[in-house]
Amino acid sequence: MGHVSTNVRLRSAGLIAASLIPALATFGQSTITGITTFDFNTGSTTTRNDLPGFSNVGTGTPYEITYNGIERQITSITTATATYAPAGTGLAYMRRSGAAEDFPNTNPNQTSAWNALLSGNNSTSAHTVSGQYINTMEALFTGQNLLTGTENLFVNSGDANNVSGNIERVDYIFPGGFAVTAQDAFSIFERGRGLGDLFSGGANGGFKVVAITGIDGSNIPTAFGSTIISIGDDSYSNGGVGIGVTPFRYDVFRYGTAGGPELDALGNVDIGPQGISGVLIEAQELAALDEIIYGYSILPEDVNLSGNLLNWADNSVYPQNSGTSVDIDLVAGGAARFTNTEVPEASTTAAMVALGGDGWRSVPAPPDGPQVGTLSSKVCATGSFTGARFRFPMGLP
């Protein structure tokens, strides 16, 4: 179908928002209240320096940025009612408007990435940040690192640090599709509040979600489901407190020149601390049980729901002058599917490890003590195993 015109459902932290269309369903709690994680060493470290826009404004000294190659990946997600485990990964596509570009101010064809700052600050020039150096949005969001993401995802202009772009929709695609079951779910995380209500470190941004019910040979959606879920600003905010992610400071990188392709400019340095908050959406809330879906799309708050949502280049549907009111600092990792399964007790559980596009599997839980293991073509970081979770000396517990 070309547009969505019926059965629009609004959800705010698991509650139905005000007033809307008949036959609204009752949703379960959607705020993510806990996660367990695994620090995965990709073995890929990169140091970048002496680049345009990498000058420390306080000293004039060029920054030296080291990406440590370690990705913090999710092994389980908990809500108020259930626990979910990773069940597979898909692909991420950024749909760009193609509007006239005024780099870097308005609708730039831009890649921006924030990375958790592990060492250094705004008065030092040597920084170490989490994850790999990634300079495309698709690769960034197909990855599963909780400590990286993008800045101002749907902002076209008006950001004081020129961190804006021309992205109007994000499609997370599972090319083979799958039949919806009552156990399937998706998670969406956003960087925002620092310490809940105690720190006004930036609200968690709102967005809309719709199931993809048809795709073509190029993985472009040809049909959306008839249900849209709207997540309001701060409706799922808990600032990372209690969910297994300590609030952190971060650096923001972007293209230094039009067309990039390298992230040669710093959009912001040593910002925060901010936390991560998340919402979990059951697939059956987006589509009927047993219906085949191919993933889901994230839409901006200012999208015109009466228009053709498939056409991301239509300015009347996806405004190309969106300002910071639609700001969302999306966390990487949305290209993953989760399943509601019984989780073993911590004393007997296995560590869940990411093996890439084929999804996750369990490995036997080792005893406490330093562990190093080789999995697929990558190497696990060294750390100590406690119960169902590896803990690593990264400075971010």
Closest CA to 238 of 201, 263, 267, 275: 275
pLDDT of 283-292, one tens digit each? 999 999 999 9
Cβ pair 132, 44 in contact under 8 A: yes
Q: With 80 as the cut, is the pLDDT of residue 182 above it? A: yes
Q: What is the pTM of this model?
A: 0.80
Q: Identify the pLDDT of residue 143.
A: 94
Query: Where does the pLDDT of residue 381 fall: very low under 50, low under 70, confident under 90, or very high at 90 and above?
Result: very low
Domain-wise residue ranges, the chain: 8-391
Average pLDDT estimate for 310-328:
95
**By three-state DSSP, how is residue 275 classified?**
strand
Mean pLDDT calculated for residue range 295-305 = 97
Bridge-based pairing of strands 360-363 and 248-254 is unpaired
Give the pLDDT of residue 9.
Answer: 44
Look-up of token digits 């959406």:
281
Q: What pLDDT, on a 0 to 100 scale, did the predictor assign at position 204?
A: 81
pLDDT (tens digit, 9 = 90+) per residue, 60-97? 778 899 999 999 999 999 988 899 999 999 999 999 99
pLDDT, position 344: 44
Ranges 21-30, 153-162, 269-278, 292-301, most confident:
292-301
Assess whether pLDDT exceeds 60 at residue 365: no
Check residue 240 and give its pLDDT: 66
User: Which pLDDT value is given to residue 76?
Assistant: 95
Residue 326, classed as helix, strand or coil, is: helix
